[in-house]
Amino acid sequence: MTAAERASQFRALHRRDGAFIIPNPWDIGTARVLASMGFAALATTSAGLAFSLGVPEGVITREQALDHCRAIVDATDLPVSADLENGYGESPESVAETIAAAAEMGLAGGSIEDHTGRRDDPIYPFDLAVERIAAAVQAARRLPRDFVLTARCENFLWQRPDLDDTIKRLQAYSAAGADVLYAPGLRDLDMIRTVCQSVDKPVNVVMGLPGVTLGVQDLAAAGVKRVSVGSALSRLAFGAVMRAAREMIGKGTFNFAAEAAGFAEIEAHFPAAGTGGGPKR
């Protein structure tokens, strides 16, 4: 499909009844696996990308992120929404430039957060945060096709569990023109319901947080439209590798292999599965 068709399809997902899951692959292989298993859209994960490159989250450049977005977009026919972190710049102008560049990668949408990237001062002041979202909206509306813009309030990820301020910010981001609203880190269904009832745009929540067992039906009943999993799949994979490594180094055994997927199972999700390659080991 064309980028315009994917964007239109992505917009439509937010208008249908119920909630949908948008999983977060971190490379071409995982994107193709998830696409082949029936999901309707994909989202990138900045943390998953960073981990795959062997660096902490928050140090990836805009160029690296956009190259990664292009790879995920090209991997399948599904619409892709990008985790664009804070827009890779503090100024509204930088955010606008990032949105324009992201659209050139073929993305159907993307998110901009109000996290500064500084642990000592993690959240942008209210007025600047709203200006940044407004700039992102204006950049998206100047595009020749649709682009679903998600505005993120990061309070609950950075030890600022202030629900009133979170709602105030989300309402302001909505008024500035954001299409989807997102406050990652909400763990309580009542809080999630309050957020959904307090705003007039579709709400994304992230699941896969340790200790949170809410299901899609519960979230949809609370008013959630979109459910992502952030870095959870990536962390799951890294956890499996680390458990296997502990077994090998600590016990000298290889029992972990019993849970590994086989070649045929993996390749069934890829184009031209089983048509080439050497001996399977």
- What is the four-CA torsion angle of 269, 273, 277, 280, rounded to 10 degrees? 60
pTM higher than 0.85:
yes
**Mean pLDDT calculated for residue range 181-202:** 98
In this predicted model, what pLDDT tens digit does every residue of 4-42 receive, in sequence order?
A: 999 999 999 999 999 999 999 999 999 999 999 999 999
272 domain-assigned: no
Residues, the chain: 281
14 domain-assigned: yes
- pLDDT over threshold 80, residue 214: yes
Number of helices followed by number of strands (H, E) in the chain: 11, 8
26 domain-assigned: yes
240 domain-assigned: no
The CATH number of the domain where 82 resides is what?
3.20.20.60
CA 131 to centroid of chain Cα atoms: 22
253 domain-assigned: no
If one counts the domains in the chain, the total is: 1
In this predicted model, what pLDDT tens digit does every residue of 239-269 receive, in sequence order?
A: 999 999 999 999 999 999 999 999 999 999 9
Structural domain boundaries enclosing 176: 3-229
37 domain-assigned: yes
DSSP per-residue letters across 178-217: -SEEE-TT---HHHHHHHHHH-SS-EEEE---TT----HH
